[in-house]
């Protein structure tokens, strides 16, 4: 029989054990049997775990899975024979194959950005038992290179630890809420329907005919201002569903496909190729599909009736930050061998022009207004100027979660699952081109609380922006001398 001495020892510990008198004679004389287990060591522990991934038997995820053939290398072998004294030596008369090391891959991830984003997100959600998960993406505007991707989630109950359990950035297909109003605004401006953000529409007590729900926030606006019209800019700042339903019906109602053509040109209707498999496929209830109804156009305009992934949303906003050129997001810069690049991955465009630079500038002005005077004012004090949009969306519950409720968004106790998002880019001032696009989303368990994009997500973004600012002196003003140093004279 064999006696288990120790499980999971590292190589250094094994070498110490092999010096003990009972074991130093090896497997056949001293009785020591060692079962080797090889695995890759992750110096940053769980940081970016769902992106880097791993390959363990049948469980294969992330870049480790996608590039396993590059990373794995080739096993070697040699024949051995027994000598007269019972020792094993290499059989020189037989062929052998040398071990071949695998290649290396260089990722686009910035470990400092990943660490900053991970900690900022944890700080907002770790102590809140109503929060199920939180994600963050940071993408380089000009290239599409992903500099950070965080996926933190709990299990079925709040008592479980936040961990990189699943890649929600890629796989969480769902209605995104008001962050999709930017999709509608970009289309309206590019088509010339909205020529200036100061353009006004009638308030109509917040009612669009045709079966749409009343937007009671418009009633508040009428009462507070005494006005019976509202500008497109202000409607965007306060994230009015009425304003965007009205605009969509007024300008695309006779030909809804015109707006959906824009949606597909923004690559919001398909799962594009990505370095990690599993990017979710959007669901678009366009004209001619079974789910199309007389209110689908308007609800799509403010972020429902269309389901996409967070990566799709970040990629779309990145196209605005890049003046209309939508770059393909990517995670791997190169494959290397012994420090030399053997395959380089260059940035590429998903769509060379989703809009004109002038349209991108107009929409960016609206996104800056959201931060300065709208629903994301918590970001107004960030170290770098930020342009972006908040969004709050109800999440469709499964049949088990509804517990008999007929409302797809509510369970039998009236609880709902929400997601709150902030997505935008920075810096967003006239002196600098935007360098990074950022998205943060927080997901709740079924709860009686609401989770808004302007609260936890915006606060996380502000901390991330401030710490990235501290890392890079590009944006900091040059220090100049402002005082005169007295002349020194020698004492006599």
Based on the number of CB atoms within 10 Å of its own CB, is 399 exposed (0-12), middle (13-18) or buried (19 or more)? Answer: exposed
What pLDDT, on the 0 to 100 scale, is given for residue 479? Answer: 59
Q: What's the rounded mean pLDDT across residues 104-130?
A: 95
pTM: 0.88
Cβ neighbours around 331 below 10 Å, total:
24
pLDDT band at 162 (very low <50, low <70, confident <90, very high): very high
Q: What does the mean pLDDT of the chain come to?
A: 91
- Residue 26 pLDDT exceeds 60: no
For the segment 174-228, what is each residue's pLDDT rounded down to a tens digit?
999 999 999 999 999 999 999 999 999 999 999 999 999 999 999 999 999 999 9
What pLDDT, on the 0 to 100 scale, is given for residue 27? Answer: 59
pLDDT band at 84 (very low <50, low <70, confident <90, very high): confident
CB 246 within 8 A of CB 231: no
Please give the Cα distance from 273 to 170 (Å, whole number): 11
Region of residue 165 (phi > 0: left; psi between -120 and 50: alpha; otherwise: beta): alpha
For the segment 418-433, what is each residue's pLDDT rounded down to a tens digit?
999 999 999 999 888 9
pLDDT band at 124 (very low <50, low <70, confident <90, very high): very high
What pLDDT, on the 0 to 100 scale, is given for residue 85? Answer: 73
What CA–CA distances, in Å, run from 84 to 27, 89, 161? 18, 11, 58
Q: What's the rounded mean pLDDT across residues 109-129?
A: 96
């Amino acid at each position: 029989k064999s006696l288990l001495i120790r499980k999971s020892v590292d190589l250094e510990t094994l070498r110490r054990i092999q010096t003990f008198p009972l074991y130093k004679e090896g497997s056949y004389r001293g009785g020591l049997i060692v079962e080797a287990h090889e695995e890759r060591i992750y110096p940053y522990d769980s940081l970016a775990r769902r992106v880097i991934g791993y390959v363990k038997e049948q469980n294969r995820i992330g870049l480790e899975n996608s590039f396993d053939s590059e990373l794995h290398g080739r096993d070697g072998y040699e024949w051995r024979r027994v000598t007269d004294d019972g020792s094993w030596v290499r059989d020189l008369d037989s062929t052998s194959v040398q071990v071949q090391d695998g290649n290396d891959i260089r990722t686009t991830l910035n470990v400092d950005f990943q660490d900053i984003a991970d900690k900022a997100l944890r700080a907002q959600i770790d102590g809140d038992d109503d929060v199920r998960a939180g994600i963050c993406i940071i993408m380089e505007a000009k290239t599409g290179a992903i500099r950070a991707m965080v996926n933190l989630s709990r299990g079925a109950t709040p008592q479980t630890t936040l961990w990189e359990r699943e890649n929600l950035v890629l796989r969480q297909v769902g209605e995104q809420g008001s962050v999709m109003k930017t999709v509608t605004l970009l289309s309206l401006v590019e088509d010339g329907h909205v020529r200036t953000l100061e353009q006004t529409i009638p308030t109509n007590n917040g009612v669009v005919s045709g079966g749409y729900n009343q937007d009671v926030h418009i009633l508040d606006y009428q009462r507070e201002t005494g006005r019976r019209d509202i500008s497109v800019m202000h409607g965007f700042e306060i994230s009015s569903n009425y304003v965007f339903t009205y605009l969509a019906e007024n300008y695309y109602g006779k030909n809804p496909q015109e707006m959906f053509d824009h949606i597909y040109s923004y690559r919001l209707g398909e799962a594009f190729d990505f370095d990690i498999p599993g990017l979710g496929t959007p669901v678009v209830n366009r004209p001619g599909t079974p789910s199309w109804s007389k209110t689908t156009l308007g609800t799509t305009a403010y972020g429902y009736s269309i389901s996409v992934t967070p990566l799709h949303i970040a990629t779309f906003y990145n196209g605005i930050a890049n003046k209309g050129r939508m770059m393909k997001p990517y995670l791997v810069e190169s494959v290397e061998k012994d420090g030399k690049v053997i395959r380089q991955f260059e940035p590429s465009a998903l769509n060379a022009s989703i809009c004109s630079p002038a349209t991108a500038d107009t929409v960016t002005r609206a996104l800056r207004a959201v931060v300065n005077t709208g629903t994301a004012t918590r970001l107004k004090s960030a170290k770098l100027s930020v342009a972006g949009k908040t969004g709050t969306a109800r999440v469709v519950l499964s049949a088990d979660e509804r517990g008999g409720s007929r409302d797809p968004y509510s369970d039998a106790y009236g609880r709902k699952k929400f997601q709150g998002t902030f997505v935008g880019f920075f810096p967003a001032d006239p002196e600098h081109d935007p360098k990074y696009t950022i998205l943060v989303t927080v997901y709740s368990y079924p709860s009686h609380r609401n989770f808004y994009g302007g609260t936890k997500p915006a606060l996380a973004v502000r901390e991330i922006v401030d710490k990235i600012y501290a890392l890079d002196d590009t944006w900091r003003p040059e220090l100049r001398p402002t005082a005169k140093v007295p002349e020194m004279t020698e004492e006599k």
